[in-house]
Amino acid sequence: MPIRVAVATDDGKSLKDGSFHEAKFFMIYDVLGRSPTKVEMRVNTRRDSKRGPASVLEILRDCEVLIAKEFDAELREIVEARGIITLETDNEDVESAVLEVAEKISRLSG
């Protein structure tokens, strides 16, 4: 069973500088073993939501892992309370960040 991962990005190639919930897009991947598969690029329709950072979870409800350079403390708390894993990375490249996570997941499950 693959693990669904969302990566915060403004251009589809590099990680968003700044908070996860402010990204223009989320690159969605399914990770099975060490092989991530790109599923889609979702537009962040909740980016300017008046309901706060957690409203972004409405468009990511199928994701189990969220990757960003930075998470707002309030969002991290809400996300982790729902059993979703948040991972911050210094990695600039979306593909590299997903491969890094796939490697970690593979080691943990192997």
Q: What pLDDT is attached to residue 45?
A: 93
Q: What angle do CA 96, 97, 103 make, to 5 degrees?
A: 85
Report the predicted TM-score, pTM, of the whole model to 2 decimal places: 0.92
Question: Hey, which bits of 14-104 come out as E strands?
Answer: 25-32, 35-43, 65-68, 85-88
What does each of the 110 residues of the chain score in pLDDT, given as a tens digit? 899 999 999 999 999 998 899 999 999 999 988 889 999 999 999 988 777 788 899 999 999 999 999 898 888 999 999 999 999 999 999 999 999 988 887 777 65
Q: What pLDDT is attached to residue 66?
A: 96
Q: What angle do CA 20, 18, 27 make, to 5 degrees?
A: 40
Q: What pLDDT is attached to residue 109?
A: 66
DSSP 60: -
Q: What pLDDT is attached to residue 35?
A: 83
Domain coordinates in residue numbering, the chain: 3-109
| Class of the CATH domain delimited by 3-109 | alpha beta
Sort strands 85-88 and 65-68 into parallel, antiparallel or unpaired: parallel
Task: Output Rg (C-alpha) for the chain, integer angstroms.
Answer: 13
